Amino acid sequence: MLNTKIKTALGALCLTAATLMSGTANAQIAGKNLILVHGLKPNQLMQENLSPQAISQDGAQGWAEFWGQYADDRLDWSSKSRLNADTAQRAYDKVMQWSRTGFCNNGCVIVTHSTGDLVTRYLLDQQSVWTAAAGLPPLNILAVFDFAGAGGGSELADLALDVSGSNSWLTAPIRAAVNAWLGFTVTPDKLGVLRDLRPAVARQTAMAPNSVPRLRFVGGGSEFLGATGGFLPGTDDGVVALHSACGGNRIEAVNSCVGYRELDGKETSVSAPASLWFNHYPVLMGKDTHHGGTIGTQRGVRLSFVNNNLNTGVRVSYATQSNTSGWGWWRNTYHTVTGSENRSMSQTAFNATR
Phi and psi torsions of 101, nearest 5° = -95, -5
Per-residue pLDDT, 26: 61
The span from the CA of 348 to the CA of 339, in Å, is 9
Q: For the whole model, what pTM was predicted?
A: 0.92
Residue ranges covered by each domain of the chain: 2-154+198-351
- Rounded average pLDDT over 153-177: 93
Per-residue pLDDT, 286: 98
When pLDDT is cut at 50, 70 and 90, the band that residue 169 belongs to is confident
Q: What is the pLDDT of residues 104-125, one digit of tens each?
A: 999 999 999 999 999 999 999 9
Tell me the pLDDT of the chain averaged across its residues. 92
Range in 22-31, 242-251, 324-333 the model is least confident about:
22-31
> How far is residue 219 from each of residues 41, 138, 186, 190, 246, measured CA to CA in Å?
20, 33, 26, 28, 10
Q: Which of 249, 250, 223, 217 shows the shortest CA–CA distance to 236?
A: 223
The span from the CA of 40 to the CA of 158, in Å, is 15
pLDDT at 197 over 80: yes
Per-residue pLDDT, 330: 86
Cβ proximity of 130 and 2 under 8 Å:
yes
| Residues paired with residue 261 on neighbouring β-strands, in sequence order | 258, 267
Q: How far is CA 322 from its chain centroid?
A: 29
- Rounded average pLDDT over 324-352: 94
Maximum alpha-carbon separation in the chain = 73
When pLDDT is cut at 50, 70 and 90, the band that residue 202 belongs to is very high
Q: Which of 304, 252, 287, 291 shows the shortest CA–CA distance to 273?
A: 252
| Residues paired with residue 217 on neighbouring β-strands, in sequence order | 147, 284
Per-residue pLDDT, 122: 98
User: Alpha helices, DSSP H only, in the chain?
Assistant: 2-6, 10-23, 42-46, 52-62, 86-101, 116-133, 155-163, 172-182, 194-197, 199-202, 242-245, 345-351
Q: What is the pLDDT of residues 240-273, one digit of tens each?
A: 999 999 999 999 999 999 999 999 999 999 999 9
Phi and psi torsions of 289, nearest 5° = -80, 120
> How far is residue 290 from each of residues 93, 178, 224, 227, 272, measured CA to CA in Å?
33, 17, 10, 13, 19
pLDDT at 13 over 80: no
The span from the CA of 310 to the CA of 290, in Å, is 25
Cβ proximity of 293 and 303 under 8 Å:
no
Q: Which residues contact 85 (CB under 8 A, 6 or more apart)?
A: none
| Residues paired with residue 33 on neighbouring β-strands, in sequence order | 108
Per-residue pLDDT, 323: 95
Residue type at 92 in one-letter notation: Y
Rg of the chain over all Cα atoms, to the nearest angstrom: 20
Element at 215 (helix H, strand E)? strand 214-219
Q: What is the pLDDT of residues 45-92, one digit of tens each?
A: 999 899 999 999 999 999 999 999 999 999 999 999 999 999 999 999
For the chain, the 3-state helix, strand and coil shares in percent, each to the nearest 5, are 40, 20, 45
pLDDT at 329 over 90: no
Element at 249 (helix H, strand E)? none
* Total residue count of the chain as it appears in this document: 354
- Rounded average pLDDT over 331-340: 97
Per-residue pLDDT, 27: 85
pLDDT at 15 over 70: no
- Rounded average pLDDT over 6-28: 44
- Rounded average pLDDT over 303-327: 95
Per-residue pLDDT, 328: 78
Per-residue pLDDT, 23: 40
| Residues paired with residue 337 on neighbouring β-strands, in sequence order | 320
- pLDDT exceeding 90 applies to what percent of the chain? 87
